[in-house]
Amino acid sequence: QSALTQPPSASGSPGQSVTISCTGTSSDVGRYNYVSWYQQHPGKAPKLMIYEVTKRPSGVPDRFSGSKSGDTASLTVSGLQAEDEADYYCSSYAGSNNVFGTGTKVTVL
Amino acid sequence: EVQLAESGGGLVQPGGSLRLSCAASGFTFSGYWMHWVRQAPGKGLVWVAHINPDGRTTGYADSVKGRFTISRDNAKNTLYLQMNSLRAEDTAVYYCARAGVPGALDYWGQGTLVTVSS
């Protein structure tokens, strides 16, 4: 049950795009199309942004998109806005349990 | 409106016990898998446990297996986490969350802080 690996930080200027990677193994990310992404602002509960690798819940802007290749999933935020500055966590189903990523702090410059 | 409200957190000594509750409203509680996720101060999210809709199937992270027990009362629309043999490393904000879409947690509570310290 090791955490999925994410870069500690990422940044971009307003209007630019940022992509966050999430590396797992053939037992989690590589095996199941149940990768999700969560946004968390300081002191707040996480918010679901992407599920089943590419799907967006109602109300999530289409600036947020997800993909997966092999054991690595990615979240891309296009057209960065100030309110996108937050921590982002990936997660994957892993059979009998779930596992989260180490988290990435996105800074809007 | 879907709402999840955790309670029961607080300060407990190492080796002690605590029971967290999560009151659910705004949806058919008995129809969903439910999860507990925790976050130590300044750290990332860690999955803790899950339970199926009828309460008969549960799963735990290795770090809490044998010490924590997840349960639910569908008549009371309430999820529980019984935490025994608490350790300093269990100090965290504990969130309950609903698995409303495949493989993901679509609604979260605001969390309750558990501090394990002497």
Closest CA–CA distance from residue B81 to any residue of chain A (Å): 16
pLDDT at residue number A96: 83
The pLDDT tens digits for B85-106 are 999 999 999 999 999 998 999 9
| A1 — pLDDT class (breaks 50, 70, 90) | confident
The pLDDT tens digits for A43-95 are 999 999 999 999 999 999 999 999 999 999 999 999 999 999 999 999 999 98
Q: Is the distance from CB of A81 to CB of A61 less than 8 angstroms? A: no
Alpha-carbon torsion angle B95, B99, B101, B106, nearest 10:
-20
Among residues A17, A32, A1, which one has the least CA distance to residue B102?
A32
Residue linked to tokens 């659910």: B24
Closest CA–CA distance from residue B28 to any residue of chain A (Å): 19
- CB spacing of B45 vs A91 below 8 angstroms: yes
The pLDDT tens digits for A9-55 are 999 999 999 999 999 999 999 999 999 999 999 999 999 999 999 99
